[in-house]
Amino acid sequence: MGVCAAPSIHSVHIYNEPRELISRLCGIVSSSLRVGDAVLIVATSQHRDQLVKELRSSGCNLRSHAREERYTMIDAQEMLEHFMVNGMPDRELFFASIAAILQNTKKAARSKSQGLTIFGEMVAVLWEQRNREAALQLEALWNEALHKRGFHLHCAYPRSLFRDVGDEDLVYRAHSHFVA
């Protein structure tokens, strides 16, 4: 029998306070690392710093995981610059920029299923820039990537970004799971 592939999960957490996000992420990341999966964090510098602090205070040895290349962090805005063209995500550039990162990160996993957990905040960055259409297109590109490779993608948006009726519903429809 072959190795079972990890299921594809695209979850979203719409949070009120950053501490809610960091607490949730700490649980997701530490669980993933504990079972041997690889973790990729694509987030703002503020959230990366807060997450590192929280993980360290919970006893997670991030240096060890980073040396094993099982814990990788990338700046959300810098990553967007690799594939945004005229304010919209370019499909080919997205897959060209993300494919190697996904492959290398997943390869570092020690778990039997070579699981990969990703936290992505690029969509929230776009929404904050009032580029709702680009954020939703990026969610669709991530869904396409999920169909090609099995991994868990966790997104998060601050509730304060949703000013128009129906905005949250648009975001929920782009995901397979909702985190309360």
Average pLDDT, the chain: 91
Residue 179: closest CA among 160, 153, 150: 153
Contacts of 18 (CB under 8 A, 6+ apart): 46, 47, 50, 158
Q: Is the pLDDT of residue 90 over 50?
A: yes
Domain ranges of the chain: 9-179
- Contact at 8 Å (CB) between 117 and 152? yes
Class of domain 9-179: alpha beta
pTM, rounded to two decimals: 0.91
Report which residue type is found at 7.
Answer: P
Burial class (CB in 10 A: 0-12, 13-18, 19+), 113: middle
What per-residue confidence (pLDDT) applies to 3? 43
Whether residue 1 has pLDDT greater than 80? no
Q: How far apart are CA 166 and CA 142, in angstroms?
A: 21
Convert the pLDDT of each residue in 137-172 to its tens digit: 999 999 999 888 789 999 999 999 998 889 999 999
For residues 113 and 30, what is the distance between their CA atoms, to the nearest angstrom? 17
Question: What's the pLDDT tens digit per position in 22-31?
Answer: 999 999 999 9
